[in-house]
Amino acid sequence: MSISEELRKLVLAGLGAASVATEKTGDAIETLAKRGEEVLAQGKDMNERLRHEIRQAMDETEEPAVSAVGKDEVLSALDKLTPEERKAIRDKLDQLGQTPEADA
């Protein structure tokens, strides 16, 4: 074999490698694009399910933020307060008694 034949084989091998690489790259891109579409669809589905579950949980747990406390509960709680806490409450009640709404 002459050097020109070896050189020719080397060039042909390079062209073949480039062709195979191009083909494999195209296949890989197609495979990755399909996989990306699947993942995107799964993400959208999961997002929608989570939104639905959150809305459902919020509807089920919707309660008034503040519940009314009865007079007896308040009086019972007052018995457990320290003198300083009772004074703070007394001051607040005095302040509320001085507002224009209390006179109406």
CA distance 21 to 26: 8
Tell me the per-residue pLDDT of 39-92, one tens digit each, with 9 for 90 and over. 999 999 999 999 999 988 888 876 655 567 788 888 888 888 899 999 998 998
Contact 78, 86 (CB under 8 A): yes
CA distance 2 to 79: 111
Work out the angle at residue 52's Cα, subtended by the Cα atoms of residues 46 and 58, and round it to the nearest 5 degrees: 135
Tell me the per-residue pLDDT of 41-51, one tens digit each, with 9 for 90 and over. 999 999 999 99
Residue 47, amino acid: N
Contact 93, 102 (CB under 8 A): no
What are the counts of helices (DSSP H) followed by strands (DSSP E) for the chain?
Answer: 4, 0
